[in-house]
């Protein structure tokens, strides 16, 4: 698992999420959709009700980790962390 704080441009080790039932349902549905084809490199978002917060997520596979060039420099740095 890798987590990136884009605002501060660094990785996050511990994260707490407080989701409404609608946000949790949306996250669950979108994760299920991504799991249909984990290799396709898609990502998705769940926005708060007023769109002031954005949860972006994607699936990472072994082949995705071998092809780091497709990610930004910041993402590459975080994905190479242990």
Rounded alpha-carbon distances, angstroms, from residue 12 to 27, 41, 58, 72, 79: 20, 22, 16, 17, 12
CA–CA separation, 74 vs 66, rounded Å?
A: 16
List per-residue pLDDT tens for the chain, 82 residues long.
Answer: 999 999 999 999 999 999 999 999 999 999 999 999 999 989 999 999 999 999 999 999 999 999 999 999 999 999 999 8
Task: Please give the angle made by the CA atoms of 71, 76 and 78, to the nearest 5 degrees.
Answer: 130
41 φψ region: left (φ > 0), alpha (ψ -120 to 50), beta (else): left
């Amino acid at each position: 698992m890798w987590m990136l704080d884009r605002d501060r441009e660094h990785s996050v080790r511990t994260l707490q999420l407080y989701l409404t039932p609608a946000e949790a349902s949306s996250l669950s549905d979108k994760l299920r959709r991504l799991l249909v084809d984990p290799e396709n490199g898609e990502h998705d978002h769940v926005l708060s009700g007023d769109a002031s917060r954005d949860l972006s997520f994607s699936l990472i596979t072994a082949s995705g980790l071998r092809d780091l060039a497709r990610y930004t420099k910041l993402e590459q740095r975080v994905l190479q962390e242990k």
